[in-house]
Amino acid sequence: MPVKNEPKSTGETQPEMSLGTVDANGQLLCPTCGGVVDPRRTTQAISRKARLVLFCSSGCLRQFLAAERAQQQQEG
């Protein structure tokens, strides 16, 4: 009887860092500062790539948009 050394799959695939990151506790993280966002309390939201992106504050939202614009200018 052949012994197979199958790698145990834990289903733990690292998702790519994407907008609207969720941490291990299922909490929504602000993409700018990495702080926890309460989706019921924040009013700072934009939609990107068919997803809603929430920010902890207007400052973070503004920073995100500025960074996005700078990136677009770099890429042409």
Amino acid occupying residue 24: A
Those residues whose C-beta lies under 8 Å from the C-beta of residue 55, and which sit 6 or more positions away, are 30, 31, 32, 37, 42, 44, 45, 46, 61, 64
Residue 60, interface with Zn ion (CB under 5 A)?
yes
In the complex with Zn ion, the residue whose CB is nearer, 36 or 70, is 36
Stretch that binds Zn ion, among 2-10, 12-20, 23-31, 65-73 (CB under 5 A): 23-31
Asked if 36 contacts 30 with a C-beta cutoff of 8 angstroms, the reply is yes
Looking at residue 60, its amino acid is C
Q: How far is the CB of 5 from Zn ion (least distance, A)?
A: 45
Q: Which span sits near Zn ion by CB under 5 A: 2-10, 11-19, 55-63, 66-74? A: 55-63
Where do contacts with Zn ion occur on this chain (CB under 5 A)? 30, 32-33, 35, 56, 60
